[in-house]
Structure 1
Amino acid sequence: MAQAEIPVEVEQIVSDLERRLQNEQAVNATLHAEGRIQFFFDGKEEVRWLHRKIPQTSAIIRNITGTPVATAPGQAVYYDPNFSAISRNSPMGNRLAEATPGEEVNGLRLLSRALYTHLPADLGDIDITTLKGDFPRIASLVRYQQALLDALREKKRLLSLQEEAQQAQDDEAVARITAELNDNDQRIQRIRERLDAFIARAKLRIRPQLDGVQNRAKRLNLLAGPVIIEGGPGTGKTTTLIHRIQYLLDAFHLRQDEHFTSRWQELGLTWGAEDEALLREEPGRFRFRFYSPNKTLKYYLQDALKTERLDYSPKTVTTWAEHRHSLLRDMGLIGANSKRQLLRTSAPLLYLTGQQVRTLLAELEEHLVFDIHALAERLERNFSVGTFAWQHDAAVQALVLQIRALKEHTTVDALLRPLQQLRERGASLLKTYRDDDKQVRDAVVVRLLASARQEPALYRQLVQLAENEHDNGDDPDAAPEIEADEEEDANLPGMDDSARQLMLVRKMLRSFIRAYALARALPDQDLKGQNLQLAALLETRLDRENHGGIATGTRFRQLFDRLLSGPETLMLRSLPRIFNAFRREDLYGKRYVAAFADAQPSWSADKSNQLHPDEADILLLLLFEMGSRFYRQLPHVFAESTNPYLSRYREEVRPVVGVDEASDFTPLQLAIITQLAHPRYRCVTLCGDLMQRLERQGLLRWEDYTDQFPDTGRASLTVSYRQCQALLRLAAKLYEGQMQERPAYKVSRRIKMPFKLRPTYCRNADPEARFDWLVSLLVDLAKVLDGRHIPSLAVLVKDSGTARELAERLSEDYRMQDAALNAQACEGQTIGDSDAIRVFPVSEIKGMEFDGIIFWDADELERENRQLDLDRLMYVAVSRASFYVAVTFARHFPKALANVKSGFVADTWAEQMLAAVADDEEEDEE
């Protein structure tokens, strides 16, 4: 059998790429080229290099056809003959990305596109990837795989001849055959070294250039509304999303995109100073946020963003659980300064569809509006009660008429401006009465304290009352009638007991003096609880004070304080209280949420001091929804307010937001994340595959998002760049069985495996037998591949404990050690060593890519957790793999996988490879 030669044409391609890279380095202009395009223009073939960003120049700027273009000073180059570069974000870069070979674009005819990256260690070690429909010459690279297979067959033949010659004691033949074997081994090594550039690695693979469909998805709703990017396994959803983020932050090229200009014209938007400020790249400025469903994927995404030269700090890449907790803590909704704590649980409580989220918001808005109307009605009822000078003040009477008119406004949006006008009109009056009230009241408190401290027994009683919580008959869910004054903090670090006690007593007396003065001035005001005790203790001292002066200011503040405090104080501070009452009275009783049965025994809405994470999501959505309305209705208040909720929201919003694996977020969480995209743009991009949903509360259908945000743009990616045909076919069957429809995705023409590997399985009730099968699967594969080019492999197990146990057993097994194979448990923040067999909990596998996946004891996982769909889990496992899939079962091949059982075989990967070689040899003999 003649030896197969390495294709000279392939060698020439690699050599040409190496030469071109050297030329780029020589001119120090296009070091970061990501690919090249070939085209015919003006009767000759041209080559241009594609870049993320190309150098600035003061030279005449031309387009790709060489025609000078009008440009402002300092704009980036599209095409300059000295650089031969095209920015992938430029209008021409976008047109070329979306064109197909043979198509004419601006007078040039596209021949081919090729993508490449070179490795720093060796300029000639180039990874070439082709796009669907590219110039077919590049496809000859797949011959490397065939050359390797031919060389392995030749080695097997020579070994057989060598054995025959040794038995015949033909020394001359042995020497000749041994020399041929050595030559063949060197040839195998050379081929494998070349193949290093094409072996799939265990990392998130970022395609430096997009195909036409992906590029069009990149340009949807540019800074103008949400976008969903959906697609099957390996279709480049995450890659497209990352490219989209990078493009959205490239304001220079973005503004030249016709999609951007037409969309903004349609929405009546114009680019201004605010946009320049929001998109400007500055040190320490965070312009985007990227959400991951789990910590493991978060670190993969950080690595991918680094590849695109985007910021990949914890400030930009996070999980929702992490961000939720920091928001609640920093806004004072949980923690030491709040009565509430976040319940530590992973058990779901609520599931709301998209429509239910909107209904819930509408009901809470009604409660808020009712609360404001109730304040206005209370003022009307009580304005004439008692005798106070301000009742006859014309300015105050005008305020009352304005407050009465609030009842005509029945929505939050309609109330915002009138409430702001009330604040502006009543500010001076409120300040006067606040200052007078505080001045007179504080003087009384100073005299009472001085007197009480002269009598140690009395002062001890006051301290005891101040340190103990007392019920004054107030409704715990009622709003404070008077906005809190600036109070001293009685818990400052380093404060001694005596100073702390003095502050507590002073604070208690301030509140008491108000209540006492009102009880003297108004017939329907009675003292209760602690205040009644204080009155008894201090009665003789109180008779000497001017209670009428205190009552005048206090009563004015009691009726007007909240209404004149401004819309952000009145509305936002009321929301946690309103929600707390709503959750107890209406949230579960109305049952417009479907509660999970297993969460009920451990949870009750009466636990008002513990906030379930699902409930915390509702509260955050309510606050952020209100924050976005302030931006639209009262932008100056949004920009300047010091309200802790509004200022925090202002700090948290980002011009661009992305969500990977969106199907594992609830519709409620996605609504919050959308509100955290700057309200000017609402530019949030979701990507995912509904079939890969692992969370029980995750997104069931895209409509649960689009029902909330009807202007959402959608793009479907159908070409898989990761998986071989066999695995994509298996994934399609699993999809069809669960979703009751055939998926649209298909395999791209790409570098193929020389063997047609089918998924393999082991079914055995003996756990030791299953373990031995797993070890043999790994070790035999290593032997077939001569211990070199071991593919990236992941073992999926039910939980972290199993991951640690199995990884330890594998690493300690002598057969694994003899084959130089190591296993590593990967969980939480660990993504592991790419040279190890990595063992993951199945819940941590989303978004990652491997050459092969082994699903350990799949039926046991199904048996222990009936809430998980095994076919969905298998789909996720298969979608993570490029070539190899294996699964073990303890008892039986599950019914949930019956429609794909015919796709599995008992032969291991190594056995299938050897059988393929044997079959080819038999065909050669015939």
Structure 2
Amino acid sequence: MTDQANEYLKAVSSETLANFKAIAAAAQERLDAARTSGADAFIHTNTFNSGVAASKKLSAISATNVTGYRELTREPAICRVQALDEEGERHTYYIARKSTVALHNGSKLASYGSVVGRLASLTVGTEITLQIAGKSRHFELLENIKYQPRFKDGAWDSLNTTVQGEDFGPLTVESLQALLRGRLEEADAEALLDALLQGSPSDTVLEGLRHEVRRSMALRDQPILDRFQDEIFRLPLDSQLLILGPPGTGKTTTLIRRLGQKLDRALLTPEETSLVERIDHPQQPHEQSWVMFTPTDLLKHFVKEAFSREQVPASDARIKTWETQRGELARNTLGILQQSSSETGRFVLKASSHHLRPAVEQAPTQWFDALHAFHKQRLLGQLQQGLTILVQLHHVVGADLVRSLVDIMATAEGGDLMAAYRALDGLESQLIPLLKSLKEESDQSVRKGLIRSLNQDRDFVDQLAAFIDSLQVDDEADADGEFDDDAGDEPEQQQTSSQKAVQVYNRSIRTLARLTFLKRSVPKTSAAAKIRDWLGKSRLPLKDELHSIGESIAAQNGLRRFVNASRRSVSEVPASYRQFRREAVKANQWYDGQIQHPRHLDAMELDAVLLLTLRTARELMAQPFVARNRTEPRFAFLQTIRDRLYNQVLVDEATDFSPLQLACMASLTRLETNAFFACGDFNQRITQWGTRTHDQALWAVSRIDTRPITTVYRQSQRLNAFSAKLLEILGGDLDCRGQLPEHLHHTGVSPSLLEDAGDFQDVAIWLVERIQEVEKIVNIGELPTIAVLVNAEEQVKPMAESLNHLLEDINLRAVACADGQSLGVGSDVRVFSVEHIKGLEFEAVFFVGIDDLAQQWPDLFGRFLYVGATRAATYLGLTCRAKLPPALESMRAELVSAWS
């Protein structure tokens, strides 16, 4: 670097530290002012709702501002850019992570999420046109400086600052203070001596980009995204995108940064602002209407930390695993799963069960499409059966009504059920009064029979109740009813035994009467047949009475199929699935043998039932006749679902979720936004059911776009090359190989290998030797982050115990991170089962027993190894109980026994 460039760097450094001080001071002034005033200082509240709402909104804004000012006192700026506009004028902007303050020294401070903030992601020489205050402004970037601010001993500094100018760079400045001092303090001299002994560079200014040793177990902080990431996170709110790329490319960071920008109304475009204001709801304002899904609780923990850095409040209600969300929806919202305090819910989830064939679990879309088609055909069949009944009973319901239904059914039979539902909605003003009248007449007739029995025996109802309590009925015989009762008319409530007995009596007589009229037999194992036998001929209505009641019940049966038909398209999904599965098992399709318990579902089955329910509900919500009347009681079931939708849905490690799960998540977006953002890597899929291809992703989210990002910010050159070769020999997707940033000086070391390792005690001895090597080579005064990966959860604790016997001699300890829950602290060596390691990164990673893993999981072995290897930034160790797996033999020459 020339003397002229060095002097320029010193001048910029001096200006930077002065501005850090000014920004922090201005932010502190705002904080001090906020402590002496609150929302009440800005608004006079009154007893009207509008005043209260305005006060709450202002209070929320005030709290957000306070958080932002506090962060500015800790991190005044993350970047400085200089750009040339179309008129030849130079502009200098300091960029803050999120919040800004006005400065009195003429400097300009902008938020990274703002339009001007885009300059921070550009490389020098790039030209861009920005829309600022409604006008197009053209800029050429002349200079880009990225900071890591630190406040120590009463003064501001920036460590490992990267600088790129028109005629120099990129450079890494270890310390702006040291650059300005031009000399080393005594403590710095000691550090210099250590660095020289280790062969490290001694200059304050280094050519190129420097690797930073991982000191803490957290997602990497990347305050400024690269240009490609920046373009992605600024896409419109109503976008659907899957970001694909290798580990360490900042995919999760891009997701988090996008959410942070889209939650800040000040950073939204006019079109986005209009959309948000149109759908905003006081019970769930835009700032709270989002959810992010992660595959594990461990990753959820670290994602929450990353959200905190971006000043985005993220509670457990906002960041969830899919298992948690699925249970809440299926049990509490949609009534698919049985509740202990309710009669609703057809199924019980058995998550450890596997009813489907392995091939179906790996590629479930065809199976789901078959279920969807079956459900539509079943709904159509119900309507067709109803029309057949009403044609025969036109003298009861009226010929004109029957002709209208014939015309509607012609539309439904053409495949357009939604068009039929629209037409039926307009016809319900005729259907409902007629149905009500017929029901009142038949109820009165059934009631006469009950009164007659009571007259004969005052204890009749009590005796019937006792008999009903003793009944063992066949659920299958009574399931998926023939529309012969009041199901769907009124919700069931808690009843006394007498009330329940009367209800069962009424229902059974109606069933018997309808089947008598139709000249059909009653299923022997049904409740109606057992009640009939218990009553005997003397207490049953006469045959003519049954025939008359049956005619009315049959007409009601036919009419009821056309009333609330759209609602049944949602509520009948569980019944359709039960029948679909029953018929598929008989035909030896899809399922792996007989289903022992008809009420039991495995996890993928529940995903399918949930997805079909959500997709059908969304299709209904999009219908104009529903949207116009959405507040009416008949559409309350849709409002319940609508209340569980979000303005934005985000998914981390998307390829670990099945296509059905991704489709469910996408179905939780508001219809107005459809805002779905996900990231993942097909090479990192470590679940048998995970999404495997672009086609599966497109099936899950039909309008989804995919964007690749391949620049890796984590690994050394040698580990990146090793990971790429792993993909090549193990049949991975080579299009997703990572590319290191230009000018990165991080050669690293070759992976280390131990064979014939024997038991955990022998492995532990080798691991501790390597851990000591890492500590000596890194030489930062503390142990960098280290993870030990084992093949199964039951190996976590034994491995940690074996390590601890040896680590205690050097005052370190190993922590068993059981089930990915326990996280350890500080310089702990963390022991994980490999399935919990997604999304994290460490300076060093050791993979124990890769030959056993190859035998245990032959289909997923390569992916597990790739995921484990790409967690490491610099040091990777592999152990084998016996020998290197044959698939890796070609890589033996690239492995070493030790690093010293």
The CA distance in 2 between the partners of 1:158 and 1:533, in whole Å, is: 92
2:646/2:668 contact within 8 Å kept: yes
Task: State whether residues 764 and 889 of structure 1, in contact with CA within 8 Å, keep that contact through their aligned partners in structure 2.
Answer: yes
Q: How do 1:834-845 residues align onto structure 2 when only pairs under 5 Å count?
A: 834-845=826-837
| 1:722-871 matches, cutoff 5 A | 722-737=714-729, 738-739=731-732, 741=734, 743-749=736-742, 752=745, 756-767=748-759, 768-782=761-775, 788-813=781-806, 815-869=807-861, 871=862
Post-superposition Cα deviations, 1:619-675, rounded to whole Å, max 9, x if no partner, equal 222112212211222434666566686444323322211111122122222222222
Q: CA deviation at 1:824?
A: 4.0
- Which of 334, 344, 351 does residue 344 from structure 1 map onto? 351
Q: CA deviation at 1:567?
A: 0.8
- Kept in 2: contact 1:385–1:522 (CA 8 A): no
Q: Which residue in 2 is equivalent to 1:238?
A: 252
**Equivalent position of 1:872 in the other structure:** 863
Aligned-residue offset at 1:40:
4.8
Give the SS at the match of 2:171. helix
Distance 1:611 1:786 in 2: 54
1:383 aligned counterpart, secondary structure: helix
Taking structure 1 as reference, are residues 205 and 542 closer, same or farther at Cα in structure 2, changes over 3 Å only? same
Provide structure 1 residue ranges, at least 5 long, that are not aligned to the other structure: 1-6, 58-78, 160-186, 261-270, 493-498, 912-926
> Which structure 2 residues correspond to residues 190-201 of structure 1 after superposition, within 5 A?
199-201=214-216
Q: Which residue of 2 aligns with 1:293?
A: 295
Please say if 1:503 is aligned against 2:480: no
Q: Does 1:454 align with 2:458?
A: yes
1:39 to 82, 89, 99: 82
Partner of 2:424: 419
Q: Which has the larger radius of gyration?
A: 1
Opposite residue 625 of structure 1, the aligned amino acid is: R
Aligned to 1:175: none
The answer to whether the 8 Å contact 1:37/1:50 transfers is yes
SS of the equivalent of 1:657 reads strand
| Residue-by-residue CA offset, 1:598-634 (whole Å, 9 max, x unaligned) | xx4xx63464222121222222221122122112224
Cα distance, 1:849–1:769 mapped onto 2, change above 3 Å: same
Q: Which residue in the other structure is 1:213 paired with?
A: 228
What is the CA-CA distance between 1:898 and the residue it aligns to? 2.7
Q: Is residue 462–residue 498 contact of structure 2 (8 Å, CA) maintained in 1?
A: no
Is the contact between residue 657 and residue 684 of structure 1 (CA under 8 Å) also seen in structure 2?
yes
Measured after TM superposition, the shift of residue 517 of structure 1 is 4.7
Counterpart residue type for residue 246 of structure 1: G
Residue aligning to 1:621: 611
Q: Secondary structure at the match of 1:312?
A: coil
- Distance of 1:158 and 1:39 partners within structure 2: 39
Offset of 1:551 from its aligned partner? Answer: 5.1
Alpha-carbon offset, residue 125 of structure 1 = 5.9
Rounded to whole Å, the distance in 2 between the matches of 1:121 and 1:819 is 28
Partner of 1:140: 172
Between the two structures, name the one with larger relative contact order (CA 8 Å, sep ≥ 6). Answer: 1
Contact 2:841–2:872, Cα closer than 8 Å, also in 1: yes
Answering whether residue 388 of structure 2 is matched by residue 390 of structure 1, we say: no
Contact 1:478/1:577 (CA < 8 Å) preserved in 2? no
Q: Is the alpha carbon distance of 1:630 and 1:404 closer, same or farther for their aligned partners in structure 2, counting shifts above 3 Å?
A: closer
| Greater mean deviation of Cα atoms: 544-553 or 107-116 | 544-553
- Residue 318 of structure 2 corresponds to residue 320 of structure 1: no
Q: In the alignment, residue 237 of structure 1 is paired with which amino acid?
A: K
- CA 401–302 in structure 1, closer or farther in 2 if over 3 Å, else same: same
Aligned residues of 1:657 and 1:677 also touching (Cα < 8 A): yes
Deviation at 1:855, TM superposition (A): 0.8
Over 3 Å counting, the alpha-carbon distance change for 1:700 and 1:408 in structure 2 is closer
Q: Secondary structure at the match of 1:790?
A: coil
575, 580, 583: which one aligns with 2:581: 583
**Which of 227, 230, 236 is matched with 2:241 structurally?**
227
Partners in 2 of 1:694 and 1:278 — Cα distance?
38
C-alpha spacing 1:739/1:638, structure 2 compared with 1 (3 Å):
farther
Distance (whole Å) between structure 1 residues aligned to residue 197 and residue 671 of structure 2: 71
Say whether the 8 Å CA contact 2:338–2:345 is kept in structure 1. yes
Deviation at 1:563, TM superposition (A): 1.4
Over 3 Å counting, the alpha-carbon distance change for 1:352 and 1:804 in structure 2 is same
> How many aligned positions are there?
814
Aligned partners of 1:354 and 1:707 also within 8 Å: no
In the alignment, the residues of structure 2 paired with residue 425 and residue 206 of structure 1 have an alpha-carbon distance, to the nearest angstrom, of: 64
**Is residue 793–residue 853 contact of structure 1 (8 Å, CA) maintained in 2?**
yes
**One-letter amino acid of the structure 2 residue matched with residue 721 of structure 1:** Y
* Distance in 2 (alpha carbons) for counterparts of 1:34 and 1:714: 32
Shift in Å, 1:343: 1.9
Q: Is the 8 A contact 2:160 2:172 kept in 1?
A: no
Q: In structure 1, what is the equivalent of residue 304 of structure 2?
A: 302
Give the C-alpha shift of residue 776 in structure 1. Answer: 1.8
Q: Deviations over 1:481-518 (max 9, x none)?
A: 3442667867x5xxxxxx74223212212213323554
Q: Which amino acid aligns with 1:454?
A: R
Q: Structure 1 residues 702 and 588, CA, compared in 2 at 3 Å: closer, same or farther?
A: farther
Distance 2:366 2:689 in 1: 18
Q: Which residue of 1 aligns with 2:95?
A: 50
Q: Which moved more, 1:845-854 or 1:637-646?
A: 637-646
Classify 1:750/1:798 alpha carbon distance in 2 versus 1 (closer, same or farther; 3 Å): farther
Worse-superposed segment, 803-812 or 278-287 = 278-287
Q: C-alpha offsets along residues 828-877 of structure 1, whole Å, 9 cap, x if unaligned?
A: 333332421111110000001111111112212222333322x3222211
The corresponding residue for 2:58 is none
- Shift in Å, 1:10: 8.5
Whether the 8 Å CA contact 1:726–1:757 is kept in 2: the answer is yes
Query: Kindly tell me: are residues 757 and 85 of structure 1, through their superposed partners in 2, closer, same or farther at Cα, counting changes over 3 Å?
Result: same
Where does residue 651 of structure 2 map in the other structure? 659
| 1:560 maps to 2:555 | no
Q: Does the 8 Å contact 2:789/2:846 carry over to 1?
A: yes
The structure-2 alpha-carbon separation of the partners of 1:638 and 1:309, relative to structure 1 and needing over 3 Å to count, comes to: farther
Please name the residue that 1:110 is paired with. Answer: 141
Alignment of 1:85 with 2:114, yes or no, is no
Q: Secondary structure at the match of 1:38?
A: strand
Between the aligned residues of both structures, percent identity stands at: 21
Alpha-carbon deviation of 1:290?
1.1
Deviation at 1:546, TM superposition (A): 7.8
How much does 1:903 deviate? 2.3
Shift, 1:138, TM fit? 6.6
Q: What code does the residue aligned with 1:141 have?
A: V
CA drift at 1:203: 0.4
**1:715 aligned counterpart, secondary structure:** strand
2:148/2:159 contact within 8 Å kept? yes
1:204 aligns with 2:206: no
Code of the aligned partner of 1:84? K
1:574 aligns with 2:572: yes
CA distance in 1, matches of 2:371, 2:196: 79
Deviations 1:243-302 (A, max 9, x none): 222233345533258xx8xxxxxxxxxx85675324889569742221112221111112
Contact (CA 8 Å) 1:481, 1:559: kept in 2 or not? no
What's the secondary structure of 1:757's corresponding residue?
coil
1:151-170 to 2 correspondences below 5 Å:
154=193
- TM-score, normalising length from structure 1? 0.77
